[in-house]
Structure formats: C-alpha cells, structure tokens
Amino acid sequence: MDRNIRTVDDVLTLLDGLFAPESDRWTADGASWWDRFYADRSKAVPFFVAKPDENLVSYVDRGLITPGRALDLGCGPGRNALHLASLGFDVDAVDLSPTAIAWAEERADEAGADVRFHCDDAFAPTTAELTGPYDLIYDSGCFHHLPPHRRISYLALLDRALAPGGHLALTCFAAGAMGSELSDADFYREAGLQGGLAYTPEALRGIFSGLTEIELRRMHDEPAESPLFGEAFLWTGLFRRG
C-alpha cells in the first residue's frame, strides 16, 4: 500500500503517470520516445528543416528582442538555437532526446556555431548553467506537448530563469487548426494528450498573465523555398517579464 504523496512534486509525478507512455514525451525517463521520433531524419516533419522560425527572425529584425543570454527550450535539431547564435546571442539549448542533441551538435559543427547543447530536463535541470537568468527563453513547440498540470512547472521555470525585463517567445498549436481541444479535465479522463494541446489567444493570455504581452499572432505560412520556417496552424507569442 503506497502512501507517498507528500509534496507538490509528488502530485505532479503521480499525474505524469496517467499519461504514460505519452508523458514520456517530456520526462527524462522517457526520452526514448523522442529518440525514436528524431531517428529518421528523412521523415516529412515540418520542423526538421534547417530554418529559423519566421516570428523569431521578425522579433530581432524589428528590435523587439536584442542579443543577450538565451535558452532554447526543447531545441530539437537546433535550428533556432543556431540562428540565435549567429546573431550574437549567448545560447544554451536543451532537449531530453540524445538523438536530437546529437543532430543539433552536428548542425552546429557544420555551421561553426557556438551553442551549448544540453541533454537535460529544463524543468528539473541537473546542469547548473540552465538555471539562468536568461534575457530570452525561446520555445518552439514544447509548450503544447505538456500535460495541463505541467504548466505549473513551466511557469516555475519562467519565474526561476527569466531575467527581469527578459522575454518569453513561443509557438504552440492554434485551436481550430491543430491539436486537441479537449478541456483540461478531459485530458485526465482520456489519459492521453491526443498529440498535443490546442490553445486560444484567451487561454495563452490567462496562463501568461504575469507577463506583459508584446505580440500574439498566427505564424505566417512560409513557402517551401523560403529561408524561414512558418506554419499557419501555430500561434506565436512574445511576452516580457516586468
């Protein structure tokens, strides 16, 4: 008979178990799911391209963010981390998947980019470097793969690691275009993430109400020949702390 719930972390871990094996998409013990995902580089996955997000490029071009210390959260093959480094950002990039990190490091070597890649859990990092503070936390597609209770961990990360005056920039599934629109409660009844959570602008504004909204819009759809990545089924958001 287990009676082991004593802390909030215990509760979060218990809830993680309700989503197994889907919860292993972001927990350190389950990095193998993402390893399998990244193993075949020839798959027609939109974000496998070696292109930065169009919104990220736009933020820099318009002077909404300027070079500083940056964290690429759930960096995958590193396309946005490499772009930030090319602009003079001091970049840490983190992902749970060793396969993704290996691919990202190969790309960095080819580009001569200076990025510190970490195979770690950003929400409970074992690497002291990942504690911040960061002037920019960039998230291209991590947030919508978190089960609802892990928004607590996400907001705690921002509180811990985002510098005063720093920016959170993210992309996530847009309701009506991509992702599941089940209610938070129904995800626990279904015991699955249905491929990822869809968000409305109102939901994002509520979740990040402790930050100042700079911009919230749909990502521009970029053609295949564009040097930028863009898919219209995503929201892009830029928020500032303080």
* pLDDT tens per residue, range 105-162: 999 999 999 999 999 989 888 888 898 999 999 999 999 999 999 999 999 999 999 9
pLDDT at position 33: 76
d(CA 169, CA 192): 26
**Domain extents for the chain?**
8-240
Q: What is the mean pLDDT of the chain?
A: 92
Q: Is the pLDDT of residue 42 over 90?
A: no
Q: Which residue has the higher pLDDT, 54 or 190?
A: 54
Please list, residue by residue across 64-96, b when 16 or more beta carbons sit within 10 angstroms of its beta carbon and e when fewer do: ebeebbbbbbbbbbbbbbbbbbeeebebbbbbb
Q: Looking at the domain 8-240, which fold is it?
A: Rossmann fold (3.40.50)
Q: Among the listed ranges 4-13, 59-68, 203-212, which one has the minimum average pLDDT value?
A: 4-13
Q: Percent of the chain beyond pLDDT 90?
A: 75
pLDDT at position 20: 66
3 by Cβ neighbours in 10 Å (0-12 / 13-18 / 19+) ranks as exposed
CA dihedral 136, 130, 82, 54 (to 10 degrees): -40
Q: Is the pLDDT of residue 221 over 60?
A: yes
Grade residue 80 by pLDDT with cuts at 50, 70 and 90. Answer: very high
